[in-house]
Structure 1
């Protein structure tokens, strides 16, 4: 009998944390809910699907180091730790006009707390456990007049990469959401500090994500199948992080499908004599559910012709899919040879550019870099998540597996 899995989620009383706790509980995980809102945590416990062991609540102010340290007391062993708690700035002041008292809360909660939570619970993580730090697209691109929000989220990304290097026994990733309909975003919209239409217009998929879409990503990143992504920064943002256009993106002209909708995967371009049997990624439920293609044709293209091969794969996909579908390209390892590295970089930027052009129709494109020694069994969970209906807000991304 498989033992009970346990996840600790900070900031679990609302937004992405709330949706994630419900998601993990739905699949039988025991949840340790950490938040400063005691009443909200109790309300959650009463409605969550029950695991074989009772869910736990821990009321803590994560801006107080002593309260973080106290989390280790009577803490069960954890399969996964999700540092999700965070806050945005409400002053709208220039950085140089902020007092220390206005600046420091974001530093303590957004930047210091993930590190201190890990330090407090490090010995409670099971071998091969997972740590996911929720950063933000704001950690990749500066957002002015949001105080220390962008700097602190950039710090979370750096912490994630360093921890992954220092602890190769763990799976450590950072999730970078774009605009999500959380309580923070709702308050920004209500206060007039965020225009919902403009936010959607900065997102090639043409809409704002729902919390469940990020919960799906966190659930995947805490699975054994995501371990080859350790050290990665995973942007689930509707291609907002790769969009560089100067005009507003078109509004979504498609229906968002249920996250748990069955996914049909067709495999294209797999050479019959290839070392790896990429056809095993294909599903047998042809013609039903969410439609996806995993294309391996670029793996067979001559060196220096990967951009052309990606272009041809995208054209084939567009001929047979009008909306609400996904293309995942398997790409060979990026060249470091000056003769060919430009072609490989261009192929990856093609993926980002095509995602921006297709977004308003719900057509997605991502790539996954595989090495000569990569086993299909290693690629399968990642490729199937990328291709699935659960990942409908994931597009324009090029993921690299850990060597």
Structure 2
């Protein structure tokens, strides 16, 4: 039975992740400072052996308390650093100082590092560390104090940890706007206008916590299928949007995340990628590898043609996943074409979002279909319906 420790597990994304992993048979060690809500979460976890789960009430800004965690848990296959807080003062950065500032940094940035150090004796070889950052770490959100800075710091910390600890599989998840209790409080306080928020999201809606739980489930359980150091923005495309025209609210509802994947492979001139496909009825998806085989200087044209082909066959609720070459060793004369192809992925995501059509790409240094299959299927499938516009590099 695999085991996971999840922080910030009493509510929101952490609670949804615990519920999802428990349904898959994981033993969950849940950590939060809200003891009552944490106990309710543990009591509500599915499975006939509910007693296998453990609740640990703890303030993660308390350095000494973190140091005791290894004594309170057994071996861990995964650590999900999800706990975090936002600034509620609505003050400019230069007017902030004191305990609130320090507490935010202690929880959002310092605690994940301390947890890895404290729990290292319990992390099994190849354990997955999933650090939950935020889209605020990719672009600044003003009047939220050190929030954006702390989440950018967590992204940098995660990448450095991946380099420093090859015995671990480290990933960093960057959610966009998710209808958690925290977001609901910001809306109620008048600090967040949901209409203005969704106008900046190509998919035209906020995510539900369960959608981020699907991403955590994949990252925590995928073992070697996730390249260490992977940054995964699950944000409805908001991180790739740079226009001034707002998006209309979504009119196409997501399908259930457990919907089977129907993945068709096209453009496979090498006959290496066909085994990645999955046939049958379900969530419609296309894996197009034609840009990988296109000669240098023709990748933009290949992505454009793949998009046109996909759009002729799908009008709503489907995904297109592309495979692009990495730019290592690329002739400088072709580098602009490859960069343009990546930006076209983002542009397509913005134009297609209203119809729940998604597009993403992997940028690969080597063609390894078998190794990449789990990641490609996750990106293409119904469990990743809030993932769009991303080009993920795979070394």
Question: 2:219–2:226: 8 Å Cα contact kept in structure 1?
Answer: no
Residue 368 of structure 1: how far off its partner (Å): 0.9
> The residue matched to 1:327 in structure 2 has which SS?
strand
Q: CA deviation at 1:138?
A: 0.4
Tell me the equivalent position of 2:126: 128
Select 1:11's aligned residue among 8, 32, 36.
8
Pick from 57, 60, 64 the counterpart of residue 59 of structure 1.
57
Report the equivalent of 2:349.
355
Number of residue equivalences: 393
Q: CA RMSD in A?
A: 1.3
TM-score by length of structure 2 reads 0.97
CA distance in 2, matches of 1:388, 1:224: 15
Following superposition of structure 1 onto structure 2, how do residues 184-195 of structure 1 map, counting pairs within 5 Å? Answer: 184-195=182-193
- How much has 1:43 moved relative to structure 2? 1.3
- Of 29, 46, 50 in structure 1, the residue corresponding to residue 47 of structure 2 is 50
2:249 to 248, 251, 254: 251
Match of 1:167 in 2: 165
Q: Does 1:20 align with 2:17?
A: yes
Q: How does 1:314-353 map to 2 (within 5 A)?
A: 314-335=307-328, 336-353=330-347
Contact 1:225/1:382, CA 8 A, preserved across alignment: no
Task: Report the counterpart of residue 284 of structure 1 in structure 2.
Answer: 279
Q: Which residue of 1 aligns with 2:197?
A: 199
Q: 2:213 aligns with which of 212, 215, 219?
A: 215
Distance in 1, matches of 2:254 and 2:72, equals 42
Q: CA deviation at 1:305?
A: 0.2
Q: Give the structure 2 partner of residue 371 of structure 1.
A: 365
Q: Which shifted more, 240-249 or 127-136?
A: 240-249
Residue 262 of structure 2 aligns to a residue whose secondary structure is: strand
Match of 1:90 among 84, 88, 91: 88
Cα drift, residue 95 of structure 1: 0.8
> Distance in 1 between the 2:300 and 2:166 partners?
33
Match of 1:35 in 2: 32
Match of 2:385 in 1: 392
Deviation of 1:362 (Å) = 0.3
Q: Distance in 2 between matches of 1:54 and 1:211?
A: 24
- What is the TM-score when the length of structure 1 is the normalising length? 0.95
Q: Aligned partners of 1:227 and 1:154: how far apart in 2?
A: 25
Q: Distance in 2 between matches of 1:197 and 1:229?
A: 36
Q: Are 1:130 and 1:172, in contact at CA under 8 Å, matched by a contact in 2?
A: yes
Taking the aligned partners of 1:353 and 1:250, their CA distance within structure 2 comes to 16
Single out whichever of 379-388 and 333-342 deviates more from structure 2.
Answer: 333-342
| Counterpart for residue 269 of structure 1 | 267
TM-superposed CA distance for 1:284, in Å, is 2.1
Instruction: Answer with 114-123 or 331-340: which moved more.
Output: 331-340
- Summarize the alignment of residues 74-89 of structure 1 with structure 2, pairs less than 5 Å apart: 74-89=72-87
SS in 2 for 1:123: coil
Residue 156 of structure 1 corresponds to which residue in structure 2? 154
For residues 18 and 334 of structure 1, the distance between their equivalents in structure 2, rounded to whole angstroms, comes to 39
1:228 and 1:62 map into 2 onto residues whose CA distance is 27
2:116 corresponds in structure 1 to 118
Q: Deviations over 1:321-365 (max 9, x none)?
A: 001000000112225431111111111110011101111110000
Deviation of residue 74 (structure 1)? Answer: 2.9
CA contact (8 A) 1:265 1:292 kept: yes
Larger displacement relative to structure 2 (308-317 or 36-45): 36-45
Does residue 313 of structure 1 match 2:306? Answer: yes
C-alpha distance in 2, partners of 1:99/1:369? 42
Separation in 2 of the partners of 1:231 and 1:367? 17
CA distance in 2, matches of 1:332, 1:367: 10
* Alignment partners' CA distance in 2, 1:96 and 1:253: 41
CA contact (8 A) 1:174 1:232 kept: yes
> Contact 2:358–2:387 at 8 Å: present in 1 too?
yes
Q: SS where residue 73 of structure 1 aligns?
A: helix
> Where do 5+ consecutive residues of structure 1 fail to align?
none
| Distance (Å, rounded) in 1 between the aligned partners of 2:127 and 2:223 | 12
Q: Deviation digits for residues 358-394 of structure 1, max 9, x if unmatched? A: 111100000012233x422101100000010010000
